[in-house]
Chain A
Amino acid sequence: MPLDRRIVDEFVGVLGAADVLSDPIRTRTYECDGLTGYRVVPELVLLPRTAEAVAGCVKVCARHGVPFVARGAGTGLSGGALPVADGVVIGLNRLNRVLEVDVENRRAVLEPGVTNLEITAAASPFGLYYAPDPSSQQVCTIGGNVAENSGGAHCLKYGFTTNHVLSLEVVLPDGSLVTLGGDSAEQQGPDLRGVFLGSEGTLGITTKITVRLLRTPETMRTLLADFPSVAAGGQVVSDIVSAGIVPAAVEMMDALAIEAAEGATGAGYSLDTPAALVVELDGTAEECDDQFEQVKAICDKHGCTRLHIAGSPEERANIWRGRKAAFAAVGRISPDYIVQDGVVPRTRLSEVLDKIAEMADESGIRVANVFHAGDGNLHPLVLYSEANGEAEQAETLSSRIAELCVEMGGSLSGEHGIGTDKACSMPRMFGEEDLEAFHRVRAAFDPDDICNPGKLFPTPRLCGERPGKYRPHPLEEHGAIERL
């Protein structure tokens, strides 16, 4: 049902006609995020240029009960920015200024549409950087990172978005503008900043973010090591942890994932190895070199068949290019695929991978594995062919993998979020009392349920539907984003 003309006029009154999109040809651009199987064309797309304009739009929504969905770059992989029928999308891309880089206090003040990589670009002339590095960092925005509490390959040592955000200016679902958090980590009462972070756009819209910046490490050492089995690679990770070493990143790929990544990038991965491990250390020169020798010895001990040490920043970049391209690259070996994001306790990695292999064999669907081995975050890539009628089997397998992670003491999602995609699996991880309490928190922020409704919580309507097949996001087709 189209929005009442008077409501549209109110939005135009706030933004001006040029920043209100209603032409279906233009609003269709916003019909999905990175989870392209779900699509809904919004009634209107609003493109505010200031925090006050965002608040103005939300006030109109609140007054008339119009549901709204905030959107950054649309790279999310869980359908968190999927529009709501009869609702509006509020795009934050025009709030894209780096407002301040405060070198002495090592922080930056940002508008939500600034991309993750632009933060480090603005900070690096001062020897500083922003630590969380989701693989889509070239295009994903800090506002979206806040909504999803994004991680990345380096969060084992450095933590997630929540560990790097000092304060947020947010527009609440009633249109009021408040600041959560402050100039230091010292809080005045409960950590509402922390509650808001990772709430997947269901509690309000971020309009300004103050992040901590870290000093660029003095030294970085990266190695790529091949192993005769995923289990041997897993043992290396265990031994590194037991030695008291906290690597900046530890990533693993299995043969199928390597085949795809190497085919796409020619980054120098071995095509005949069952498993490859990327280990990166950083820190002061003395500590880093000392620990790097220990890591090399641990690799040898577990039957490493090839050890490649990045000898230059270019070689390091090449190793990471291969790793980060793995998702998009499976398109070379399979017409369609689904990315999963489950987490298990790290010590159960081998066990969960064996079970995934068993489940894959049973269903006749192939699964390639790329994962953050240091923190147990799996990204199984379920490979299938829509044309051969495998979509439903693949969907079932994918959901079973996520739920298996929960059964093994882990989580449905390590970094992509619940969104639309995994909402129906939430009862596997949380009990009725848990979900009811989440609802109460949500109702405190959004009593009228207009702020990104239908996400995160299971709903009968959603959980009765099946998504369409995966289709590459336009940005992905143009090579602007990768999936991690």
Chain B
Amino acid sequence: MTRAAPTTLRPTTPREVRDAVLDTPGRLAVAGAGTAADWAGRLHDIDARLETTGLTGVIAHNPGDMTVSVHAGTPLRDLATEIGTHQQRVALDAARVGRGATVGGLVATADAGPSALVYGSVRDLVIGTTTVLADGTMVRSGGHVIKNVAGYDMAKLLHGSYGTLGVLVEVVLRLHPVPKATATVAVEGPLQAAAEHTARLVQSPLEPIACEWVSGDPGRLLVRLEGGESTLHLRVARLVELLGDGAHEVDESVWDEHAALTAGGPGPGGDGGDTGGPAVAPDGAVLRIGAAPTRLAPLVAELPATAVTAGLGTGVATVTVPGAAVAETHDAVAAAHGTSALRSRSADLDAPAWGPAPSGLPLLKAIKNRLDPDGRLSPGRFDPWM
């Protein structure tokens, strides 16, 4: 049976999202700006595509409370500009923010960047959500205050759900002050040397915000600090001394290069955006992997990776490997008690999106069954698990 090409729905209010979910028969793919369209399992048997990109704008920003509520289709980049005038920010530097990723999309894909070392992933910044479920139920959880333990935390359930459990329509975020000054220190060297530097760094009192190794010849370790205008240089000096020979301050633009390499360059989705960077090889695939920090460097070293950014303090790395090596990469990560997920891959690559299923899979299936019993939302994202 051939299926008609999916229609595209682009609601502009939460109520229109609910109507779209209720009035559209069949299976819906939930999408934001499309910056992670080919992450995780491939969508299949879609009848309509529900885009949140019409659902934009700040609902409420109270600078004194350092919280903001936004429509879920708001690009984080735009939000950053708006709240930046108050010297506030969402402390999330995921690589695709610069390419227009939406707040809802970043939550649904559980994305994070180098500063997760201190500020955590999106899950640590979301304090409230409103979600439309597959049967049109509109669920609020959390609220507008940072400290709140009333009710189940639905934001966590949506975090990393890849559009399979509901459509995020509103997100409330906690904000942080924009630091008065930032600085980055680099030291050239291979992965193993960077891991040794990191081991000393995390035991020091210098409070690095990010600690990332970037592949190259021989590669380099980037360490970012944040602090006061008149005091940061003192800590930079301490950091340079700790890292030893060859450590030097570099321009903050190194983080744009880091983001481009993490994103794998312009992907097959064609949304390469404005950060440039090396393209994924025609048969390449980008995987996100996580492991205990001290296991990460040896794990990455054994992979046939052609490009790597590795958070040696967080244990989270993004690697580009040949398409044929995806399955063996999942296996290697699982053997190191880590987790792995396929991100970008070439259009014709048939490779597993996920490694071995977690022990909580029956629970995940039970939740899916309660919230979306007909399997309408984003089918395929967790293939082959469910």
A residues sitting closer than 8 Å to B (CB atoms) are 102, 104-107, 127, 148-149, 151, 155-156, 159-160, 162-163, 172, 176-180, 182-195, 197-199, 215, 217-218, 238, 241-242, 244-246, 283-287, 290-291, 343-347, 372, 375-377, 409-418, 422, 426, 429-431, 433-438, 440-445, 447, 456
Contact = CB atoms under 8 A, between A and B. Distances in A.
A411 B144 CA distance: 8
Nearest to A415: B149
B154 interface: yes
A444 B145 contact: no
Given A186-B339, A414-B149, A194 B293 contact: no
Interface stretch (B74-82, B175-183, B241-249, B320-328): B175-183
Nearest to A445: B363
B230 interface: yes
B288 interface: yes
A334 B196 CA distance: 59
B201 to A, nearest CB: 10
B225 to A, nearest CB: 9
Contacts of A290: 228, 230-231
B158 interface: yes
Nearest to A177: B359
B87 interface: yes
A455 to B, nearest CB: 12
B12 interface: no
A192 B153 contact: no
A444 B363 contact: yes
Contacts of A105: 292-294, 315
A410 B199 CA distance: 41
Contacts of B288: 186
B159 interface: yes
A430 B128 CA distance: 12
B224 interface: no
Contacts of B153: 162, 194-195, 197-198
Contacts of A104: 199, 293-294
20 contacts: A177-B359, A184-B314, A184-B339, A185-B120, A185-B314, A186-B290, A188-B160, A191-B156, A192-B363, A242-B64, A246-B177, A286-B227, A287-B231, A410-B145, A411-B143, A414-B149, A434-B139, A434-B141, A441-B152, A444-B369
Contacts of B206: 284
Contact of A183 (B152, B159, B234, B337): B337
Contact of A106 (B156, B165, B202, B339): B202
Contact of B364 (A190, A198, A291): A190
A263 B293 CA distance: 49
A216 B110 CA distance: 29
Contacts of B293: 104-106, 184
Contacts of B355: 188
A372 B158 CA distance: 29
Contact of B161 (A151, A163, A189, A345): A189
Contact of B235 (A238, A286, A437): A286
A176 to B, nearest CB: 7
A194 B64 contact: no
Contacts of B203: 127, 215
A241 B139 contact: no
Given A179-B358, A246-B176, 12 more contacts: A104-B293, A104-B294, A185-B121, A186-B341, A189-B162, A190-B161, A190-B364, A191-B160, A192-B363, A217-B205, A372-B147, A444-B370
Interface in B117-156: 120-121, 123-124, 133, 137-141, 143-156
B254 interface: no
A345 B62 contact: yes
B339 A188 contact: yes
B160 to A, nearest CB: 4
Contacts of B290: 182-186
B70 interface: no
Contacts of B62: 345, 347
A379 to B, nearest CB: 12
Nearest to B154: A437
A291 B232 CA distance: 12
A438 B151 contact: yes
Contacts of B150: 411-413, 418, 422, 426, 429-430
Please give me the 6 A-B residue pairs with the lowest Cβ-Cβ distance, nearest first.
A186-B290, A194-B156, A184-B290, A218-B205, A244-B177, A184-B315
B20 to A, nearest CB: 17
A345 B144 contact: yes
Interface string B213-245: 000000000000001101100110000000000
A436 B151 contact: no
B123 A287 contact: no
A284 B237 CA distance: 13
Nearest to B141: A434
Contact of A215 (B202, B366, B385): B202
Contacts of B156: 162, 190-195, 197
Contacts of A156: 146
B193 interface: no
A103 to B, nearest CB: 8
B131 to A, nearest CB: 8
Interface string B99-124: 00000000000101000100011011
Given A218-B205, A284-B207, A195 B120 contact: no
Contacts of A185: 112, 116, 120-121, 123, 290, 314-316
A291 B206 CA distance: 16
B336 to A, nearest CB: 8
B371 interface: yes
B39 interface: no
B159 A190 contact: yes
A162 B141 CA distance: 16
A434 B382 contact: no
Nearest to B199: A104
Nearest to B121: A185
Given A183-B295, A185-B290, A238-B64, A411 B315 contact: no
B143 A195 contact: no
A283 B176 CA distance: 16
Nearest to A402: B150
B149 to A, nearest CB: 5
Contact of A431 (B140, B161, B235, B369): B140
Nearest to B204: A215
A244 B229 CA distance: 12
B247 to A, nearest CB: 18
Given A187-B160, A188-B354, A375 B202 contact: no
A88 to B, nearest CB: 23
Contact of B148 (A241, A242, A411, A431): A411
B157 interface: yes
A376 B66 CA distance: 12
B205 A215 contact: yes
Most buried by A among B62, B65, B315, B338: B65
